[in-house]
Structure 1
């Protein structure tokens, strides 16, 4: 297991208390300003994705190039619906934060409604999140923020670049991490959401991904690369017959004091071509007061 130790950098304290996401979304964000191996290829006849140049995965570049081509093919697809899940385990406790919405891979923005787990006597609560290049907007955030106000967070100020602290990994960032995929192997053909897909497994490197990522997410990934002591992140990616990403699962582990916090971030994409409406809140609706810890 790879253990990532988050350093405390100039922005929010991304990992506090029991779990990174619970601390950041449910109670925290205090202080925030409003050369690789190709691996084994799929067997003959297996479902594979298309590379950026239109070739099938088994034709030329193999699994490595197929997975690295994911961001470009998603940009071609334009938009999709998205389901997210962030699962944390620490000290025998397991928590899951779920989300659902849509994402525009050309514009680099999306809208997701995140469902927080129960917190003591507090029932499950939904937070609306807007992903934009360089910023995360949250509504119904609680902890001292008026119900009709939004909180704006500069993702480049977060020690993890908002890979986990928002309760859902930005789908664009999740895809961009695959640009630096390494040691990719083909696992087999499975079904995701009723669609036959090719399952690939490998690792990626956050710092390397930041260097080749699109400008929309580059600074956030650069922040994450500085915040993590170790950049290697294992992943499982599931691609359909057109090479489009249908599901990706990244596995992070944090050393939080003497406790180890395991975070599994899963993003599932479907309904390609669905219109995504992301309207940024006007300045008067953005909360600029103190956020309760």
Structure 2
């Protein structure tokens, strides 16, 4: 038996995100790439960005670092994570470091461990009445944001497949991410279009996200290496959060050390919390 998640209309994030923040990504000057790869040509830039998810699937697995900055009601929160992800299997394991949102001087909360699998999210050390030695299982397809925001880190495959709906893409020039030469693109992606073009594993969560955000257009900055793989992507969401203004969320995912095949084991059945949990912010 798994935990039953209590939902209320417009509730923001099911688990970790208790505020939200907008991080504006900087852009370098635009122009054509020096080696003739996708540059100033808008259609070529769109194709490069849309194909980045396929490049990650070919790469197999990668090391992941993430930052989610949110702002809601004047409160800014940043959640940072690290771990690894297998794009072919759609599975991964992350460890998230949480801030001290109460500002009570007791310091950051204990880290949260997350296991990502197609359509579901497992969380350990979640708090909110869940025993420290128990896991919570959440159906990602039942979340209003499709777990693009809920877990405090965007599922890396969902972040990549969201770019399949990229529109109005501009090549911003060459840059470096973690010492690697990359090409910087910016634009917006259409959630509905991305859902229609996504793989069978990701389509249900993107379809759910289409209904949960206040706009179907998601601004992004994407950085691709010479193999067309995402090295970094920042996506800017606007979540309803039960208010007219909603919450602004920026999720940034960085990838490196491609080719690894992480072994991600699911928690045993008797380690999954069977009680009722509340969605934070509801």
> Does TM, normalized by the shorter one, top 0.5?
yes
Q: 2:61–2:259: 8 Å Cα contact kept in structure 1?
A: yes
How many residues matched?
Answer: 260
- SS of the equivalent of 1:250 reads strand
Q: Could you tell me which residue of structure 2 aligns to residue 274 of structure 1?
A: 260
Q: 2:115–2:122: 8 Å Cα contact kept in structure 1?
A: yes
Task: Report Cα offsets for 1:137-191 as digits up to 9, x if no partner.
Answer: 0001111111111100000100111110110000000000011110111001111
Q: Could you tell me which residue of structure 2 aligns to residue 43 of structure 1?
A: 32
| Structure 2 CA distance for aligned equivalents of residues 229 and 245 of structure 1 | 26
Query: Normalising by structure 1, what TM-score?
Result: 0.82
Taking the TM superposition and a 5 Å limit, the aligned residue runs for 1:2-151 are 12-13=7-8, 16=11, 20-21=12-13, 24-25=15-16, 42-45=31-34, 56-57=37-38, 62-120=44-102, 121=104, 122-124=106-108, 125-151=110-136
Q: Could you tell me which residue of structure 2 aligns to residue 218 of structure 1?
A: 203
Q: Could you tell me which residue of structure 2 aligns to residue 31 of structure 1?
A: none
1:214 Cα shift? 0.6
Gaps of 5+ in 2: 19-29
| Structure 1 CA distance for aligned equivalents of residues 188 and 101 of structure 2 | 33
Query: Normalising by structure 2, what TM-score?
Result: 0.85
| Structure 2 CA distance for aligned equivalents of residues 93 and 101 of structure 1 | 27
- SS of the equivalent of 1:156 reads helix
| Structure 2 CA distance for aligned equivalents of residues 159 and 13 of structure 1 | 10
Task: Report Cα offsets for 1:263-290 as digits up to 9, x if no partner.
Answer: 1000000111123121001111111112
| Structure 2 CA distance for aligned equivalents of residues 11 and 169 of structure 1 | 21
